Structure 1
Amino acid sequence: MTGAPAGSPPRAAATVTLSDARAEADFARDGYAVVGLLSPAELDRLQAAFAQHAVLHEGPFAASLLIPDAAARGAVHHAVQAVLAPALARVLAGYRSVFCGFAVKAPCTDGGEMPLHQDISFSRPEGRPAVSVWAPLVDVSGLNGCLVLVPGSHRVNTGARAPGSTPAADSLQAYAQAGLLRELPMRRGEAVVMDQRLLHASPGNRSQAVRAVATAVAVPAEEGLRYYHRSVVDGVALLEGFAVEDDFHLGHPLGSRPARGTRLGVAPERVDFIHPRTLAPRPGPACAVP
């Protein structure tokens, strides 16, 4: 399951992810970087888009990628992409967005937590990393569900990941005890650009207001979009790779085998456990379990 699919654009010479040298150094070291991304006018447009589609994002936690109705999911994507794509072009070094939406947490006294995880793979593991972009529309902290990260964890378990893949992470408590968790409060207008291999989590929203975040998945311009399907045959977990079009996630139900796309092959799933003892604490304030 290696190599670019037929018809992919030629590989670029770019080896960096972020245009700004300081942000790129943070990204290379820690697996993420915080950047100034959105102007007040862009934030207003995203707030309006969220208000229009808020009914699709109800419950303790909701993500646009999980909206069952393909037409509604596509409408959210196009509304958010219209704002995020030009903004991301200012900070990313040769990337294109393939799915945009919202990640929303309603106020609640219990629930809404996102456990520690790596994102699924959107591009081939050997190339420049696909990134997740997380841009809150409100100021975020541990009270309303900011991100909690494990800096440096993007260097372990770097192979393909599918919906339902075996987690490579230990408990939040294990990383907290090792001083490896970092809470990431942010201001509206800022964004975190995160290597999709990075371990991250977020607590529930214990504030009195909705926490809405504009999100994007972006892949290197020189790479085709990938999707990996996991199945278990005779007790062996297998990953089946597909080259798919950029609009694939506008309608595909996560976890199901693709009905379209070019099949690239199948291989046993490999999971390299990200043990807290193998990671060195990074500069910056550590945090307890949220």
Structure 2
Amino acid sequence: MEAGWIDRPRTGKLWPCKTCCYNAAVFSKSVFFMVAFVVPPILFGQENKPAPQKPEVKVHMLNVCTPSPEEQREIASALSQAPRKPSFSEDFEVDRGRSVLDQRANPLSVVNAAAAPAEKSVADFVRVRRDITGSGTYSTVQYSFSRDSQQMVETLVLRVRDPKELLQISIEDSASSVTSAATMLGSGTPAARIKLERFGKSSVVLARCSGTADGPAADQSAYEPLFGSASSLLADYRGLLGATTLVPEELSRIHHGTATTSAARKKQSSVRSR
């Protein structure tokens, strides 16, 4: 058979082949040069492809020790609008419970997990919520008391009825757990932290700051009127909501229920062992 001709089946005649090549090596070389010409630009484009940019992370630092004069005025305005003798609706809510925080469930503590064994933090809490009637600035008040093995925290939150700039104000105080809850509530612990949560803006916070090893404590004498107003407001609502007697009673129910459950489990385990 001559080069460039093919034998058509069943006829025995030679037909010209336009797609055949006289030498297979010529065809392979052509393909090789074509691939060598096309592939490098593709690889070059892949190498020069820019790496995806990481999203920017913005961190807002709050000056909780020495707020600006404008922030002080916002705190004073929010405190002054809180009703001292509110009228509550018939709806109310009293809640108690126990919260367990497992440090091993915190992804940020994985690094220190090998250095120290993780401990569970257990806190008992009591919450009271009441709705405020009328057309005043605030519509709801919530009081909460929590206690763990180290400290007790008392928090009062007033939520705005028609939030535009201000969402809510919270007042917080704390004491060591070496004393009882009744002692803390009866002594009238002063406020240690005031926080305004605003719509579309960062929060405004005023907190009592103590000295550190790097330097002495900041002079907060100019903020004592704000702390005094917040402490007075917290004391008023502590009495209005009956927290002085309600909180110790609810905490005792938590411990009584826990002790009863533990005794029942021990009894069941002893019966099964028999």
Do they superpose with TM above 0.5?
Answer: no
Work out which of the two has the higher radius of gyration on C-alpha atoms and give 1 or 2: 2
TM-score (norm. length: structure 1): 0.27
